[in-house]
Amino acid sequence: MTTTVDPKAIDRELAEISERRWTVLDRMNRVHTAIHYAVGDVREKRSGWRMTNTEACARLTELCEDPKNFRARDAAKNLTSLDNCSSELAAINDEFDRTEAPYIREPWSRFYLVQGGHIHASRSCHTLHTTTRLGWLPNLSGDTEEAAVTEHGPLLCTHCFPSAPVEWTIGPTKKTDPSQCDNKIRGDWYTRGRYAHCPECGAVASTTSIGNLRKHKRPTD
């Protein structure tokens, strides 16, 4: 008997598993942070910690060998927490792989949304970072690019969807404030100062060094 594969149902389950995986990864990150502090590591503004996570864990293990280092011995519980997180993460990854097996055998279209960004077709898009959190769109799994645009707007990633029409890839639209006027072309100078009339809304606005109007509020009356 042939089993019917439901892409939407499978990807809904995978989306839930992914959320659990991020929860564990967040917990691991907090534990690693505690370990770095426990061994006296220093966090740089740009490069992060001076020690790698592995080095910090090894250093804490060394410090715990000193029976008089009570602070380190107290922090050792983080090593146990880290082991528990690693075991939990391995189990979640196995569950994910089992659930995704039908897709690996016979892939279908998928769509992932980056908050405030684009819709991607793959988690491995080179424009994404390893830390980028993708929002699964399982209700669109197996559907067309047009369906994704209809549902979420023209947010398709040009790298993931190279053949998509340009109007489907223009990206997030910036919200505009109706009380603001964006016209930059000035009218007559208001005074000898750096102010001029806006010919579009009639307001008086300050100007830039090259004589363009700055963004300004529209008159309310």
Per-residue pLDDT, 14: 97
The answer to whether residues 157 and 205 belong to one domain is no
The answer to whether residues 45 and 87 belong to one domain is yes
Mean pLDDT: which of 70-79, 81-90, 132-141 is highest? 81-90
Per-residue pLDDT, 1: 46
Per-residue pLDDT tens digits for 145-193: 999 888 888 888 889 988 888 887 776 655 566 666 665 555 555 555 6
The answer to whether residues 16 and 89 belong to one domain is yes
The answer to whether residues 3 and 87 belong to one domain is yes
The answer to whether residues 165 and 184 belong to one domain is no
DSSP 69-129: -HHHHHHTHHHHHHHHHHHHHHHHHHHHHHHHHHHHHS-----EE-TTS-EES-TT-TTS-
Per-residue pLDDT, 130: 82
CA distance 62 to 130: 31
What proportion of the chain, given as a percentage, has pLDDT over 90? 44
Per-residue pLDDT, 33: 93
Range in 71-80, 174-183, 193-202 with the lowest mean pLDDT: 174-183
Per-residue pLDDT tens digits for 15-36: 999 999 999 999 999 999 999 9
Q: How far is CA 125 from CA 47, 51, 119, in A?
A: 24, 29, 11
The answer to whether residues 43 and 100 belong to one domain is yes
The answer to whether residues 4 and 78 belong to one domain is yes
Structural domains in the chain (count) = 3
Mean of pLDDT over the chain: 85
| 3-class secondary-structure state, position 187 | coil
Range of the domain at 204: 176-221
The answer to whether residues 19 and 99 belong to one domain is yes
Q: Give the end of a domain, one of 106, 130, 146.
A: 106
The answer to whether residues 118 and 207 belong to one domain is no
CA distance 132 to 137: 15
The answer to whether residues 60 and 90 belong to one domain is yes
Q: Name the band, by pLDDT with cuts 50, 70 and 90, for residue 87.
A: very high
The answer to whether residues 185 and 169 belong to one domain is no
The answer to whether residues 101 and 135 belong to one domain is no
> What is the Cα 182 distance to its own chain's centre?
30
Mean pLDDT of all residues in 190-209:
72
Per-residue pLDDT, 173: 57
Q: Give the end of a domain, one of 88, 106, 124.
A: 106
